[in-house]
Structure 1
Amino acid sequence: MVFEHILYNVTTRVATITLNRPEKRNALNGAIVGELRKAFSEAESDPEVKVIILKGAGEAFCAGADLEYLQQLQRNTREENLADSKELMQLMQQIYYHNKIVIAQVEGHAIAGGCGLVTLCDLSYAVPEAKLGYTEVKIGFIPALVSVFLVRKIGEGRARELLLTGRLITAAKAETYGLLNEVVPADEIADHVAKVAAELCTGASANSLKVTKRLITAVFDQPIENALEQAAQLNAETREHTDCQRGINAFLAKEKMVW
């Protein structure tokens, strides 16, 4: 399968999905979300794939939403924003519930939606220089969809801190919060992640890994589908709010907002 915005390859039972817009800091838009969905579907249906590595080309892992995409949000109708939110929602569900192990290899900053992708992965490794955070509130938006997963991953207290402040944190702090599994030097991270992937491929049953993931996701009382539906509705509503429009305009103009 050929993609325009990502790279996809399979070697020794490991599928590597690379966000490949380095000139845009691998920012997300509708097209790249669609390609990611196709790539994760391809990996899920491929019996030769046991582990997936998600990474970014260039200096950033993913800088969040693309600037042109942010501009488009302000012109969308409520129905268009809801449809777009649900497309992202479906990608998040796809990664979270994927029947293969997904590893994030974070070799640069992971911000907003980019940090959301890291949140969804089963295992995450980052270089010391990487900064991570959910900055949506700083531009009048909300981290709606990712909040459903972040609370489950690191607990309510830490999630409140990160989501409400919009502050970027170091990779070392993200590790102490449980957002990352380990911080690995830049010259070692590729080999380290490859070793983890290889050990999963040879050291554990594919079915056991799949079922264990199901067990982990089943321990929470609130059905994730219900929470995501509500989050998608809030996502679409917030895009129409004047705060969001003002914040995006200021961000695009490189002006600092004072809320």
Structure 2
Amino acid sequence: MYQTLTLTRDNKVATVTLNRPDVRNAFNETTIAEITQVFNELSSDSNIRAIVLAANGPAFCAGADLNWMKKMADYTHAENLADAGQLAAMLAAIYTCTKPVVAQVQGDCYAGGMGLVAACDVIVSVDSAQFCLSEVKLGLIPATISPYVIKAMGENAARRYFLTAERFDAAQALRIGFVHEVVAADALSTKVAEIVKALVTNSPNAVAQAKVLVREVGGREITPELIASTVEGIAVIRASEEGREGVRSFLEKRKPAWLG
């Protein structure tokens, strides 16, 4: 089905793997369209509880494909708007996916690749990975990926790395909060599997709503309106089928129905 990635399913878990190792998994318009499509489809797939975003080869993602960049050099303003809009749609498809997304970063992650990672919910990196927001070296800025990258690493760190285009290692990525876990290469798949196992045991509806909660509450001032919306949120989910089942199963000391 796909030219630039693979999709596998194992029980309740889908793995989307970038599959252009010969170009360090750099993305072009085909990759962007395919990632958007697969995440939109998985988002509405009731059989899937969690998604892993992975990559083949030594690098996770080098950002934009060189041949694609050559074509962009001759784009009109309207063409650049349309092209950037497709990239934005891809990132939004990951970020707003109803299923939790775990990034399994097995190698270097540069430029637009950092946007892919930042749009995920949980980020696990191998300790040898290098990260770089290299856009200013090319006379560009990381505009389309910036909402996700700044949320992930914070404004202070973003100010430094957007401006300097310095490379930084996985240990620094952990310190600034861009990644959640850093492990040795031989422990990467085990750590990701451990996180995925935790995700798929939780209420699917509650996980989806918790993702929305973070998006809607994060960074907002605590106002009466925000408090009212959170009160409404807990009231609605308490009365939901899974909310009632979760509380009943806990009180009755049995597994909830979503665990089969």
TM-score band, normalised by shorter chain: 0.7 to 0.9
Cα separation, 1, equivalents of 2:147 and 2:195: 27
1:1-259 equivalences under 5 Å are: 2-202=1-201, 204-219=202-217, 220-221=219-220
Cα separation, 2, equivalents of 1:3 and 1:95: 17
Q: Deviations over 1:98-153 (max 9, x none)?
A: 11101100000000011111111100011111001211001101100121122222
Please, what is the CA RMSD of the aligned residues? 1.2
Cα separation, 2, equivalents of 1:162 and 1:10: 36
Please give the secondary structure, in 1, of the residue aligned with 2:185: coil
Alignment-mate amino acid for residue 100 of structure 1: K
Alignment-mate amino acid for residue 206 of structure 1: P
Alpha-carbon shift at residue 93 of structure 1 (Å): 1.1
Alignment-mate amino acid for residue 209 of structure 1: V
Q: Deviations over 1:205-233 (max 9, x none)?
A: 111111111111112459xxxxxxxxxxx
Please give the secondary structure, in 2, of the residue aligned with 1:104: strand
Moved more, 70-79 or 147-156: 147-156
Alpha-carbon shift at residue 177 of structure 1 (Å): 0.6
Moved more, 191-200 or 117-126: 191-200
Is the 8 Å Cα contact of residues 126 and 170 (structure 2) preserved in structure 1? yes
Cα separation, 2, equivalents of 1:167 and 1:146: 17
Cα separation, 2, equivalents of 1:131 and 1:120: 18
Whichever of the two has the greater Rg, that structure is 2
Alpha-carbon shift at residue 24 of structure 1 (Å): 0.7
Alpha-carbon shift at residue 186 of structure 1 (Å): 0.4
Alpha-carbon shift at residue 43 of structure 1 (Å): 0.9
Identity fraction in percent: 39
Cα separation, 2, equivalents of 1:137 and 1:221: 30
2:243 equivalent in structure 1: none
Cα separation, 2, equivalents of 1:121 and 1:221: 21
**Relative CO higher for 1 or 2, CA cutoff 8 Å, sep ≥ 6?**
1
What TM-score, normalized to structure 2?
0.82
Cα separation, 2, equivalents of 1:221 and 1:136: 29
Alignment-mate amino acid for residue 155 of structure 2: E
Is the 8 Å Cα contact of residues 44 and 98 (structure 2) preserved in structure 1? no
Cα separation, 2, equivalents of 1:167 and 1:12: 41
Cα separation, 2, equivalents of 1:169 and 1:115: 12
Alignment-mate amino acid for residue 21 of structure 1: R
Alpha-carbon shift at residue 168 of structure 1 (Å): 1.2
Which runs of 5 or more residues in structure 1 are unaligned? 223-259
Cα separation, 2, equivalents of 1:72 and 1:123: 33
Alignment-mate amino acid for residue 218 of structure 1: E
Cα separation, 1, equivalents of 2:76 and 2:167: 31
